[in-house]
Amino acid sequence: MPAPTSLHGFDVAPAVDRMLGQPELWWQAVGLFVEHFAGWEAAWLGTRGDDAAECRQVHALRSAAANVGASHLSCVATVLEELLSIRLAGRPVPVPASLRWYLQDCFREVWQSAADARLADCLPVARAA
């Protein structure tokens, strides 16, 4: 099955290229992203106040997003991960609430886009009679 030429929130072609040019591997990775991160937002929200736990949640998202080509989401997660890492190193830097809200919005958009594409890919194509 071919990869889409475009998908909201994804840089599809470079991601497929990183997967040995095999769209099937990309689709498989997108499916895993959808499945494994379905509950990510709730888990992440539950880590507020625990910088180490939040950093682990954000790191997992950053890595997975980069893997499937959700570059913008990965970049936003990187910023939050870096701030949390600085805090964990003992420097009291603030984490802007707006950054967390933006990450949440980006995650929702990308996850939904991936879920919709995966669903559409699994549905049979109607054929003209």
Stretch among 7-16, 43-52, 82-91, 94-103 having the lowest mean pLDDT:
7-16
DSSP one-letter code for 123: S
Which residues have C-beta within 8 Å of that of residue 117, sequence separation ≥ 6? 4, 7, 30
**pLDDT class for 121, splitting at 50, 70, 90?**
low
Question: What average pLDDT does the segment 91-120 reach?
Answer: 94
Pick the CATH number of 12-119 from 1.10.3470, 3.30.1120, 1.20.120, 3.40.630: 1.20.120
Residue 50, pLDDT > 70, answer yes
Nearest Cα to 75, choosing from 90, 56, 57, 62?
62
| 38-51 average pLDDT score | 97
Task: Assess whether pLDDT exceeds 80 at residue 2.
Answer: no
Environment class of 23 (CB within 10 Å of its CB; exposed 0-12, middle 13-18, buried 19+): middle
